[in-house]
Structure 1
Amino acid sequence: MKTKNYSFYIIAITLIATLGGLLFGYDTAVISGAERSLQIYLTDSLGLSSFVHGLTVSSALIGCIIGGFISGYFSNNFGRRNSLIIAAVLFFISALGSGFPEFLFFTAGEPSIELLIVFNIYRIIGGIGVGLASAIAPVYIGEMAPAEIRGRLVSWYQFAVILGMLVVYFVNWGIANGQTAEWINDTGWRYMFASEAIPALIFGVLLFFAPETPRYLVSKNNDQKALAVLTKVNGSVTKSKEVLSEIKQTLSTSSSSSGKLLSYGKIVIIVGILLSVFQQFVGINVALYYAPRIFESMGAGQDASMLQTVVMGIINVVFTIIAIATVDKWGRKPLLMVGSIGMAIGMFGVAGLAYFDIIGVSTLVFIIIYTASFMMSWGPICWVLLSEIFPNKIRGQAMAIAVAAQWAANFFISSTYPPMMEFSGAMTYGFYGVMSVLSMVFVWKMIPETKGKTLEQLESIWSADKSHTSTQSKKIG
């Protein structure tokens, strides 16, 4: 299988869509460099608790949950591309508002409860953009990509997420490098947030040059435009007509696929939700959001901790590339199961060291094992599967529920991390290790292999499941 056989067209529009992933990563990780300054400027100066600080660090996730929930409505009514344009606008507003929350209504340097609320509102606005992009960008790529390279192309979305995190780690480090702690706490954190406006603007502009997906166009009875896009993607009118025929067949109204959420049974929805929840309950975003503070607890200074975060970001990128290179060769299930084992080893290792109060290079090694294992498996493969498993007629609705569940789980894990760590570090990391083990069992028992199948072919898995369930129900009745 050689990617060079596919047109520059599909590669170009995939890269445009993956900018949504880059902004996803940028927006969620920018807080890692600014969270200590926010604690000093807002929560500590106002005498607020660590729980309030945890909520402030995680407030964007409230928006992510909202964005996830409404993504189905936006995706189905405004289209995949136009919904991503809306997400880009929200990213832009959030970047400037989070950096300068005093704009119009407050005075810089005078923290207040009202200012804290306004800052969180701006972060929630950005979170809505993340929720929209995280649900719609993988669907956009999955609906555009040929089956034989779909896993690879959708995996580039996760690569963009990690690249966005790595970029913002460099940006945060560059802003903080050589500066005094006082300057960072007064001004530097503002530049960190505001810097996101640049990629948000680029993303929004480039989307005007991207097409709508063929499957959405067919759902709106625009077959001619769908065929034109398919021809550009596949390079063959004959093959494109075959794909168009399959899409129309799966979108045609029938009693077995009415377009209602449970048209294909409950299992596909449950699998999507559990995929999303396990991706967060293994604790990855704790490592991402609180990375500098974790490294500081290991004895690194503020500048050194941000540099170590950059090193971790580079490792994340390398192992995401490994997933991209192997997902269409080895399949989804093997990568997920190997990743779960590696994450369990990493988290149980950190938990054991925390229990014996051992902090040092060994802790860093286990953190790297954990994050590398996630990045070669659950990071990209979860998004690949979510873009694949849902049938055409319910994809927008089902993806919205799965992504909302993912962000709800993310919010729970991230906001509970500070108080959990105050109670017991060993217990906290041990919990994430247990979740890693359970994630492997879930994949082994419930995840179908989707490698090499068209989106339309995958629908037969759930149609068969629904038919089997209905037959069993009749026998019982």
Structure 2
Amino acid sequence: MPRAASPGGVITVRSRRARPPRQEDGARVSSTTQGSGGTTRAGGEKTTGKVVAIAVVAAVGGFLFGFDSSVVNGAVDALADQFSIGALLKGFTVSCALLGAAVGAWFAGPLADKFGRTRVMVIAAAIFAVSAIGSGLAFAVWDLILWRAVGGVGIGAASVIAPAYIAEVSPAAIRGRLGSLQQFAITVGILSALVSNALLAGAADGAASDFWLGLPAWRWMFLVGVIPAVVWAALALAVPESPRYLVAKGRQEEAGRVLASIQGLKDRGLVKRRIAEIAKHLAAEREPSLRDLRGPRLGLKPIVWVGILLSVFQQAVGINVIFYYSTSLWSSVGFDEQQSGLFSVITAVTNVLVTLIAIALVDKVGRRPMLLAGSLGMTASLGAMALAFTQGTADGQDLSLPAPWGPVALVAANLFIVSFGITWGPVVWVLLGEMFPGRIRAAALSVAAAAQWIANFVISTTFPPLAEVGLPLAYGLYTVLALLSFFFVLKAVPETKGRELEDMDDLRVERRERARA
């Protein structure tokens, strides 16, 4: 659906007091042994199938985000015709869910701290299911906008709670890979929506044609969203609460059982030390509040601004323009409806595949190098798209790309998806789940996620009017923003690979020491 400079890529953590490496810090010990139950690291930490399954369940919230991002892709032209709306209102109808998502993201963190992570997952799923029904049965454009905004609240809450929950249950050594499941689920949701749209439109002979029970296919595209929402709610009821949340509520014994179970810890002493360490950090924290985010940089702590800008840049490069409008985009440059739908599916498949690569790399290469490489790749591919669109010839509202510029634009779009999907897509979600110190994590993640949804809304709403002025202008703007993201990462984003969540305060100490050097 995002720190100080670290030229070497990896930060060596120095704590406030010198201390020897602890056996229980799985991230600090590299030796591993293989067993039938999973991969065991020195210190007793084991990667179990259970922790992977739990992370997958949490990441289904990302599936809902991806599904909602692309379900409107196949429906937008049909609903625009039915409700007779212009370019600006069309853009707002597509992106209005993002305003609701900003609201959901803003309140999800405090609610999760009060009621629990899994309960918020269930609530978010229920909200999305109700929205899917309302959107599919909308009788006017304002009614559709209302229900999409309601669904956005659920998506926004899911965008906060899923990465936070995954970060809190995951062993440090594989936290990046498990955190990347959020982006992988988003890509699978995008692909599923596009395939569902294509099947429904094909069965009805067009998105605007009646399919079943007198309802046109575009309405069923929205109604299908009830299925993954109900599945997520059911699965969320079956997973355990975060050990950190349980400790915060005084349920240490239950937290110990959960931690031992999901991370495969057999040593009771080690489990007690882990729980004691979590309790120690929680004891030093006050009740989380948005006031805790206040700092000297324009009213916020520097680390909060880093999270906000990561979120904004992730969306400002125009990634969701591809998934919201790809079918319309390819139709506008000369491809027929069937070809445009096929190209959209190809793009979504590409997105899924490269995210799998990202999952394999994020805990090996690190967060920062991947973001830098992604920024350069996005800049080059977006620049190529902008150049290709300058060669187009307009005929009324249609734009035709002469050979070889049509294929150039198509290849560049997929290279952009590769560059984003292997880097900024998953890595920002990983960073947002782990980069903030524990006492402000929930509140800071809420603010950063809200910023992400607002940026997504601005980009998605402004694309149709920008496209009417000229596609070179739109993609030229995204090119500049992608280039700026490179310099932002170079200057402001440190490396968090392999660090325990309780060590994030030490990163701030390291940043100050590097600044003095």
Q: TM-score, normalization: structure 1? A: 0.91
Q: Equivalent of 2:350, from 315, 320, 323?
A: 315
Match of 1:246 among 258, 277, 281: 277
Does the residue aligned with 1:343 lie in a helix, a strand or coil?
helix
Secondary structure of the residue aligned to 2:292 is coil
The residue that corresponds to 2:219 in the other structure is 190
Q: 1:132 aligns with which of 135, 157, 166?
A: 157
**How many angstroms apart in 2 are the aligned matches of 1:145 and 1:304?**
42
For 1:368, give the aligned amino acid: N
Assess, with a 3 A threshold, how the Cα gap between structure 1 residues 147 and 466 changes in structure 2: closer, same or farther.
Answer: same
Match for 2:325 among 278, 285, 290?
290
Alignment of 1:445-456 (within 5 A): 445-456=491-502
1:233 matched to 2:262: yes
Question: What is the CA-CA distance between 1:258 and the residue it aligns to?
Answer: 9.5
Checking the alignment, whether the CA contact within 8 Å between 2:136 and 2:223 is kept in structure 1 is yes
Alignment of 1:307-386 (within 5 A): 307-357=342-392, 358=401, 359-386=405-432
Q: Which deviates further from its counterpart, 301-310 or 183-192? A: 183-192
Q: 4+ residue runs of structure 1 moved beyond 4 angstroms?
A: 257-260, 463-469
| Partner in structure 2 of residue 146 of structure 1 | 171
In 1, the alpha carbon distance for the partners of 2:205 and 2:293 equals 57
On the 8 A contact 2:293/2:443 being kept in 1, the answer is no
User: Distance between the aligned counterparts of 1:258 and 1:76, measured in 2?
Assistant: 10
User: How far 1:206 sits from its partner (Å)?
Assistant: 1.1
How far does residue 462 in structure 1 lie from its aligned partner after superposition?
2.5
What secondary structure is seen at the aligned counterpart in 2 of 1:126? helix
- Render the CA deviation track for 1:446-474: whole Å, top value 9, x for unaligned: 111011111111221135658999x9xxx
2: CA distance, partners of 1:101 / 1:445: 47
Secondary structure of 1:451 counterpart: coil
Q: Which runs of 5+ in 1 are unaligned?
A: 103-114, 472-477
Q: Which residue of 1 is the match for residue 79 of structure 2?
A: 38
Q: Please tell me whether residue 222 in structure 1 is matched to residue 263 in structure 2.
A: no
Deviation at 1:246, TM superposition (A): 2.1
1:20 counterpart letter in structure 2: G
Are the equivalent residues in 2 in contact too, given 1:21–1:158 (CA < 8 A)? yes
Could you tell me how far apart the structure 1 residues matched to 2:264 and 2:295 are? 32
Q: Do residues 4 (structure 1) and 41 (structure 2) align? A: no
**TM superposition shift of 1:414:** 0.4
Q: Which runs of 5+ in 2 are unaligned?
A: 1-31, 40-46, 393-400
Q: Per-residue CA shift, 1:122-145, capped at 9, x if unaligned? A: 111110011000011010101100
Specify which of 73, 87, 93 is matched with residue 50 of structure 1. Answer: 87
Does residue 123 of structure 2 align to residue 86 of structure 1? Answer: yes
Report the secondary structure of 1:360's partner residue. helix
Report the counterpart of residue 67 of structure 2 in structure 1.
Answer: 26
Cα distance between partner residues in 1 of 2:105 and 2:269: 37
- Tell me, in whole angstroms, the C-alpha distance in 1 between the residues paired with 2:376 and 2:61: 30
CA distance 1:264–1:350, change in 2 (3 Å): same
More divergent stretch after superposition (438-447 vs 1-10): 1-10
Contact 2:167-2:434 at 8 Å conserved across structures: yes
SS of equivalent to 1:177: helix
Q: Counterparts in 2 of 1:148-163, with a 5 A limit?
A: 148-163=173-188
Please say if residues 99 and 152 of structure 2, whose CA atoms lie closer than 8 Å, have aligned partners that are also in contact: yes
Tell me the equivalent position of 1:15.
Answer: 56
What TM-score results when the alignment is normalised by the length of structure 2? 0.84
The equivalent position to 2:202 in structure 1, one of 177, 194, 205, is 177
CA deviations over 1:75-118 (Å, ceiling 9, x no partner): 1111111101100001110111111124xxxxxxxxxxxx2211
Alpha-carbon spacing, 1:259–1:311, altered in 2? closer, same or farther (3 Å): closer
Distance of aligned partners of 1:258 and 1:364 in 2 relative to their CA distance in 1, 3 Å threshold: closer
Q: Distance in 2 between matches of 1:143 and 1:294?
A: 40
Distance across 2 between alignment mates of 1:464 and 1:368: 39
Deviation sequence 1:299-349 (CA, Å, 0-9, x none): 222232112111111100111011001000000111111111111111100
Higher helix share: 1
- Tell me, in whole angstroms, the C-alpha distance in 2 between the residues paired with 1:420 and 1:173: 27
Counterpart contact for 2:65–2:189, Cα < 8 Å? yes
